[in-house]
Amino acid sequence: MGIDWTGQIGQFEATQVRYGDDPLPGQAAFRYQPGGRPVLISAPHGACHWRGNDWKFQDGFTAALAHVLASHTGAHALYTVRRIRPDPNYDDDCDYKRTLAKLLQDHSIRLVLDLHGARYDRSFGVALGTIDGRSCPAYEAGLIQAFMDQGFDPDQAYFLDRLAVNLPQYRGGALQRTVTRFVWEQCRVNAAQIELNAHLRIIPGHNANSLTFTPDPQRQRRAIEALINIVKAI
């Protein structure tokens, strides 16, 4: 019998992540989960985040996904579990990125996978952003192949089976101080931003918001298998 991915992800999200709550006294808004592989999985939008003059919604279930992936692969993980300010994917002067930079150096990390969530009505199932190939030259081809091996392809007709690579809005940080850009430019480590459509991310029965769509556990499993294969190949 296979691993109950949806159960594990849903359980962690329900018990460990508080989207709109401030960090507990003396604690950070994010957690580090140590690993043994030279890969770090990041989820900076696991909870609400402050950008500009307002709180932005979380990318639901990305923190839980980072945790579960790291638990099953031995990757390191860094993810937000309480609301955080400033937005780690928009501002370089923040504790999340300072912690990330130290982890990359201390553990000789070779690849960062930065997980994010796209809306349910986007034109893809998975979007890979490598700043037009610059942020992840050593691994970009392998990332694409791992998703294609699971049926996600740029030429797929059905949108949830489509793998988008460096779409204008999803290039990983060409015009913004993202985690991917920070890791590549300032830490000199390969990094890729991975956006998962809400259909492939939200767990049925554990919805983060009022749902106007139907989650797709089968495609979610395929996306998880692709991510696992990426980590294990490094």
Rounded mean pLDDT, 81-94: 96
Q: Please say if the pLDDT value at position 207 is more than 80.
A: no
Q: Cis omega before residue 44 (within 30°)?
A: no
Confidence of residue 98 (pLDDT cuts 50, 70, 90): very high
Query: Class of the 5-233 domain?
Result: alpha beta
Cα–Cα dist 224/110, whole Å: 20
Confidence of residue 210 (pLDDT cuts 50, 70, 90): low
Rounded mean pLDDT, 194-201: 97
Confidence of residue 206 (pLDDT cuts 50, 70, 90): low
Q: Please say if the pLDDT value at position 208 is more than 70.
A: no
pLDDT over 90 percentage in the chain: 90
- The pair of three-digit structure tokens given for residue 63, joined into one six-digit string: 């923190």
Q: Please say if the pLDDT value at position 124 is more than 90.
A: yes
- DSSP 3-state assignment of 8? helix
Q: Please say if the pLDDT value at position 200 is more than 70.
A: yes
Q: Please say if the pLDDT value at position 196 is more than 80.
A: yes
- DSSP 3-state assignment of 41? strand
Domain ranges for the chain, please list them. Answer: 5-233
Query: What pLDDT digit, counting tens, does each position of 24-36 carry?
Result: 999 999 999 999 9
What pLDDT does residue 230 have? Answer: 98
